[in-house]
A and B are shown apart, each in its own frame.
Chain A
Amino acid sequence: MKSLLGYLSVHKKRMTAGLIIKSLGTVAELFLPMIMAYMIDEVAPTGSILALSLWGAAMFVFAVVAWGGNVIANRMASRVARDTTEVIRNDLFSSTLYLSARQTDEITVPSLVSRLSSDTYNVHNMIGMVQRLGVRVPILLIGGVALTFTVEPVLALVLLAVVPFISLVVIFVSSRGIVLYTDLQRAVDAMVRKVRDDYTGIRVIKALSKGDYEREGFAAINENVVEKETRAGVTMSISNPILNVVLNLGMTVVVLVGAYRVSKGLAMVGELIAFTSYFTIILNAVISISRIFVNVSKGSASAKRICAVLNMPEELVKDDSLVPEKNTGERGTVKFEDVTFSYDGAPALEDISFELKKGESLGVIGATGSGKTTLLALLLRFYDADKGRVFVDGADVRSYEEKELRSKFGVVLQNDFLMAASVEENIKFERDISDRDMKDAAERAKAASFIEELDEGYDSKLTVRGSNFSGGQKQRMLIARALAGNPEILVLDDSSSALDYKTDASLRATLREKYPDTTIILIAQRISSVRFADKILVLDKGRAAGLGSDAELMKTCEVYRSIYESQGEAGGNA
């Protein structure tokens, strides 16, 4: 189990040292009122100006120690906060990338993003603030009580009596705060989703004149955020007045009790003054602690969200019991054996079987939602099949290390990802690929022509998600990326849909000619894109409606024939 404390425990020594230095500085501050009391009660009556000045100088030294101790301790605290956050954030990013697809679906991408950004920021703030301001109050309270006991035990008891009240308020408010801020964060998430949603769908909203409807929907969400925020704010704001009242009443009691003690000759007036000073010092510290309440509440809620990701069990690990089967098959082969899979109960694929030899090609065609993309997800082991087995190079996909398995593939996903980086970086995609291979791949993917026409060629920058390129250009860059690694198996999911027929046809011809040994799996909507394949798998509602060559399917598969007819001459006048 990973926890924030676990991450902090690495810095135990540094934090302890910091705490000691901080304590020294803080206690030095507490000596000031004591010295003052001594000056008033003991030194002043002697009438020695020199002695008073010397004691004054001593106070000054303590003030300097207090300053130095706090500065050093604060800087140490900042360093601990920095180092801890750096590690947490790196771990979180790495955990995020290694989550299984199912886990990613469960947490959702926007939530993962906000965990990495605002949550780690909140934790950073919290670690720093607690060490700098949070520990000051306990030190002042403990140090103050200890110190004053030596001077005037009865008055010290008054100070001691205040401690439980302060602790209670702090504990109550901060624990309520964590709950309330978690609620608030949820409401804010909903608001962010709404804005993102409407930004994406603005054309539809405008086309259907749904502005008012959207405004109403937002008003409800806004109302909810305001309500949650008010509740959190009102709860938090009770701490300051209560702490003020408690400490000020304590000071009043000190004066009252002090008067009695002084009249009995058990205490001195200077000591009384010292006590009122203590209360004021503590009060100032307590007020600054209430400023960190919000930080701590937000930070703890954030730490929970971060740890939830860090502690996700590792899924889709290599199954060692399957290792012996390995390396028995030929490279570049793919086999599905009675594969069944569902996302959440609703079956997405049922009893799918097929086999591909090295260099063979498979076309997958079928209606929307028939399970074509799911097939790819199982092949790449984004998910594990519920039943049946998937083999690559003759070995079960579960017998590979994730990386080893995926290194065999060149993939273009539906709506695939392009980075805000240069064309070159997008094609090479952080792999060791030579410029020559990159250019060859671009040439074969029919991308070279438009890339070379760009002002900066392969150095041209893409904007986020490649929005400065057309759909067809993006698809060709993605295909270039897949080809550049000279994969054993090439998988293209609906990745030529934005190409015109002519480019699409010439791309297919190139694949046949230049990659005779590459096994190709091609998912498409257009029958013309899959007809050339050695085998064609026709999917219908997750089941195989047909498997065979174009000629075979035309004879035997009714579904295939009707697709063909609808896309060919005969179906034109439906």
Chain B
Amino acid sequence: MKKVENNAKTNRRAVAIRLAGYFAKYKFSVIFAFLLMLGSNLFALLGPYLTGKAINAIDLDTGVDFNAVIFYCSLMAAFYVASGVFSYILSVVMIKLSQKIIKSMRKDVFDKIIALPVGALDKMQAGDLINRISYDIDTVNASLSNDILQAATGIITVIGALVGMLAISPALFGVFAITIPLSVFITVQRSRQVRPLFRKRSGKLAQLNGYSEEMISGIKTIKAYGREEKMIEKFAGKNKDAVDAYYAADYLGSLIGPSVNFVNNFGTVLISTAGSLMYLFNMIMLGDISSFLLYARKFSGPINEYANIMSEIQSALAAAERVFRLLDELPEGSADNAEEELENPVGDVAFEHVRFGYDPEKIIIRDLSFEAKAGQTVAIVGPTGAGKTTLVNLLMRFYDPQGGRITIDGKDIKRYTRSSLRAAFSMVLQETWLFEGTVRENIAYGKSGATDEEIRKAAKEANIEDYIEALPLRYDTPVTDGGVNLSKGQKQLMTIARAMLSPAHMLILDEATSNVDTRTELLIRAAMDRLMQGKTCFVIAHRLSTIKNADLILVVKDGDIVERGKHEELLEKGGFYSEIYNAQFE
């Protein structure tokens, strides 16, 4: 137990040091901010001292020394205004500084997401990544622009107030000192009790949010089955847990503020009583009591905030740790050594004894070998889950095989840079993907600097032109969640248009046309045949009619190639292929 705690502590320290590294880039701003903070606080701390001086000058026994009062009061006003101006500039500097840091952190996180291997991303959830880039970084930001400042201000104020009180009256300080261990005890003790409750609170809230996200994504189905009431009932249960956990944390937490205030007031009681007594025996001047009271209040302010700040810094460190953990994931290609560019490949592709499983314990492709000559079409068929999309993942090096090798033009694909390898393929994947942007941007995505004419041509070849022309803004129509109502098939046509634009050397069609009606598919196929000339092509589909012209059909079952050959040969053979082929006419 102890060891775990120690580990967590060293871990936190490492995180803090790493965070500090971000500051190091902005040394001058940091130094400037530090000076401003020092100035602002010292001026503010002089206030009570001057107040005391002014009040001392009003002492009744000697009459009011107006000159002195006016002098001290003008100084006070000047110092307070200066302190206010400094602290405003300081806030602005800190916000700008923390925003710079946050911006580069966000950029780092996003760049990392893009750079991560697909295999690593597949293991993460979108919600988790979003949490890190928004909520976690936000938490760090709040801490950077606020808590650090408050903590530093607090330290200076506490020390300054201590010095002030000691300077005014060590005896009175002796009385006041009784309250110090009390306030320290309260803050430390309470925040220790509250922390696990806060953790529980965020846990329950996360569960609730996960549930509502899931249910809302299935809203149509819930409606179709009329299950709204049941889901609302379940939600209410989880909601109750969440608000109760929140309340439990609040219940204890609500004690801290008033308790620290109480200690503070208790200090006032002690100082007033002792001060009056001392004044009675002429041991202290009234102005000094006033200064002392003001310092005592200043002293307890930061202590009151200590618990808040500490818990915020803790959660900021935890958030930063989550962000750093993501940043520390190895990017794709970090283990690569060969950096050969794959340029204008002939397109001879071969799998040689490839062995692969997403989970190394669960091999799904045991021993796969085949060869596709340049310009040939390889069709991969077989039931769902047999491992057909896996071949694409391997070809594009989204994943690497555990055994064997894949070659292009006789060389292991691991010897080529990933970007040149991937640029050699154009593809239409099973999951259609459009991003937020216009229709034009989505089509032109495959080729930077594509002309309008090229885009239109691609759209025409993909048979989506008519549809686009019917849109209110045509090619400038935004494609968004809430925007145009694109059907699954239309989305796919757009991605086909995108692939049309790409000047790639090899083509991958993964279930490419499964969402397009066959009539359209015929037209697309015709266009693709033109596009594919002299290129190697991999087609993965259930629809056998579209792959009958393939030079090689690979029949995949349970990860292995069970049959291979041309359509007629396979039909004659009367094996697994002919079985699934004939099923469609039953």
Contact = CB atoms under 8 A, between A and B. Distances in A.
B231 A121 contact: no
B114 A86 contact: no
Interface in B222-262: 222-228, 230-232, 234-236, 239-240, 243-244, 246-247, 250-251, 254-255, 257-259, 261-262
Given A251-B47, A273-B290, A431-B225, 14 more contacts: A32-B272, A52-B276, A56-B270, A71-B258, A77-B254, A191-B106, A195-B129, A201-B435, A222-B107, A226-B102, A251-B51, A413-B221, A419-B214, A500-B383
A49 interface: yes
Given A205-B114, A226-B99, A233-B145, A252 B429 contact: no
Contact of A470 (B384, B418, B471, B581): B384
A281 B58 contact: no
Most buried by B among A83, A226, A494, A574: A574
A75 B252 CA distance: 9
A170 interface: no
Contacts of A245: 80-81, 83-84
Contact of A241 (B87, B106, B514): B87
Nearest to B85: A241
A500 B545 contact: no
Contacts of B141: 229
Contacts of A280: 293-294, 297-298
Given A66-B262, A191-B134, A430-B231, A112 B470 contact: no
B146 to A, nearest CB: 9
B385 A470 contact: yes
A387 interface: no
Interface stretch (B12-20, B26-34, B344-352, B486-494): B486-494
Contacts of B538: none
Interface string B209-222: 10011111111111
A40 B279 contact: yes
A556 to B, nearest CB: 17
A222 B106 contact: yes
Nearest to A262: B58
A209 B80 contact: no
B4 interface: no
A527 B584 CA distance: 9
Nearest to A49: B277
A280 B427 CA distance: 70
Interface string A82-114: 110110011001101111010011111110110
The contact size tier of chain A is: 35 or more
Interface string A208-249: 111101110011001101100110011001101110110011
A206 B422 contact: yes
Contacts of A215: 107, 110-111, 114
Contacts of A194: 436
B473 interface: no
A425 to B, nearest CB: 11
A147 to B, nearest CB: 16
A167 interface: no
Contact of B118 (A67, A203, A367): A203
5 contacts: A44-B279, A52-B280, A204-B433, A368-B492, A368-B515
B109 to A, nearest CB: 9
Given A52-B280, A256-B73, A78 B250 contact: yes
Contacts of A219: 107
Interface in A489-517: 494, 497-505, 509
Interface residues of B, number: 171
Given A204-B433, A249-B80, A39 B235 contact: no
A262 B269 contact: no
Interface stretch (A57-65, A158-166, A323-331): A57-65
A94 to B, nearest CB: 5
Given A240-B87, A248-B76, A500-B542, A574 B525 contact: yes
Contact of B273 (A29, A56, A472): A56
A354 interface: no
A117 B54 contact: no
A405 B101 CA distance: 56
B103 interface: yes
Contact of A237 (B88, B257, B481): B88
A272 B384 CA distance: 86
Contacts of B213: 113, 117
Contact of A82 (B218, B246, B502): B246
B246 A269 contact: no
B115 A218 contact: no
Nearest to A233: B95
A223 B103 contact: yes
B265 to A, nearest CB: 4
B419 interface: yes
Interface stretch (A149-157, A439-447, A561-569): A561-569
B519 to A, nearest CB: 6
A44 B289 CA distance: 13
B17 to A, nearest CB: 25
A176 interface: no
Interface in B543-586: 543-545, 548-549, 579-581, 583-586
B482 interface: yes
A411 B225 contact: yes
Given A67-B259, A245-B80, A497-B514, A276 B51 contact: yes
B371 interface: no
A535 to B, nearest CB: 19
Nearest to B419: A209
Nearest to B231: A97
A401 to B, nearest CB: 9
A191 B519 CA distance: 40
Most buried by B among A40, A55, A237: A237
